[in-house]
Amino acid sequence: MTVRVLTTTAAGLGLGLSWGIAARVWMRLISTEPEFSWTGTVMILALTGLTGLVLGLLYGVRRTGRSRWWRVLAVLCLPMFASPGMIFFPAFLLGGLLYLPHLWARLLGLVGIALSQVGLWVTTREDPVNPWVLHGGFLILSLTLAAGAAELYRPRSGEAAVAHEELAVDPLTAR
């Protein structure tokens, strides 16, 4: 493994832990009974750290032009969406498409973010919580999660260069 891959993997771990801390703070802000266990906090940070580590690794191997088979490691991200975390799953699964250049991908990505928001609304509509904190914080967390998940859909470095060259060819002059 190259230094670049190790660096991106470490950065992914740090970003995943940061996302987990932000999610835990958001949970504290929206909770009507704001007492949390250390076990739950450590579990959240472990799962978000693992997700960040995997996405950072995938970013590094994609940038070095390695095989697409590395994306199978994304399966390791799935435990993060167990139990209450499942509400973020549409944002992770489809939201990453929001960061691609194609209109169809962006629309599908918006659908993923919207599905997560609707899921949150359905499960919390009777809770006495500030809706701006509830939905605003959730939207920020969903969009940042989707930004990381975009790595699952991006082409390898060599493929991106070829696709860019194909788009640069003038169809009328074939140059």
Note the pLDDT tens digit of each residue in 119-174: 998 888 777 778 888 899 999 999 999 999 999 898 877 655 444 444 444 444 44
173 is a domain residue: no
Is residue 13 assigned to a domain?
yes
Classify residue 133: in a domain, yes or no.
Answer: yes
Q: What is the pLDDT of residues 57-80, one digit of tens each?
A: 999 999 888 888 888 888 988 989
The pLDDT assigned to 159 comes to 55
* Residue 174 located in a structural domain: no
Residue-range definition of the domain harbouring residue 52: 3-168
Handedness of CA 34, 36, 42, 43 (dihedral sign): negative
- Total domain count for the chain? 1
Confidence (pTM) = 0.82
Residue 81 lies in a domain: yes
Is position 175 within any domain?
no
